Amino acid sequence: MNVILSIKPKYANAILAGEKKVEFRKLTFKKEIEKVYIYSSSPEQRIIGYFTIKNIIADTPENLWQKFKRVGSITKDDFFQYFENKELGYSIGIKDYIRFEKSIDPKRIFKNFVAPQSYMYCEKI
């Protein structure tokens, strides 16, 4: 199984540049995932590549920040604003990543596509 993950363009591009080694999330997947397709949200609104998962770590936002602040490509203020009022968060470790030569318009693949709030399961793209 694969997922499409909505990621803001600055973070999506940091992943595909090899700068962002972890993706932080409030929720995690309920199924085993082979590939995480990166949907670069507005204004791009395209699937621009994918990554494979090294690991997923659940912990408090404070502990996640201490462990991953140097490889998360996010400011402390933005990180804690994202996890505001959350007792648990997830760090998705990025193993390998590929940027597509041509980005993909998801509306050409999925009928009635709506950008996922967090993620959506899919087959291979």
> What is the domain partition of the chain in residue ranges?
2-56+91-122
Instruction: Decide if 37 contacts 67 (C-beta within 8 A).
Output: no
pLDDT number for residue 125: 85
**What pLDDT score was predicted for residue 118?**
87
Helix (H, G, I), strand (E, B) or coil at 14: helix
In 3D space, the residue among 124, 42, 18, 24 whose CA is nearest the CA of residue 78 turns out to be 24
Closest listed residue to residue 61, CA positions, set 69, 50, 73, 70: 69
- How far does the chain reach from its first CA to its final CA, in angstroms? 11
What pLDDT shows up at residue 102? 97
At residue 124, the pLDDT reads 80
pLDDT of residue 123: 86
CATH number attached to the domain at 2-56+91-122: 2.30.130.30
| Tens of pLDDT, residue by residue, the chain (125 residues) | 999 999 999 999 999 999 999 999 999 999 999 999 999 999 999 999 999 999 999 999 999 999 999 999 999 999 999 999 999 999 999 999 999 999 999 999 998 999 998 899 998 88
- For residue 104, how many other CB atoms are within 10 A of its CB? 15
pTM of the shown model: 0.94
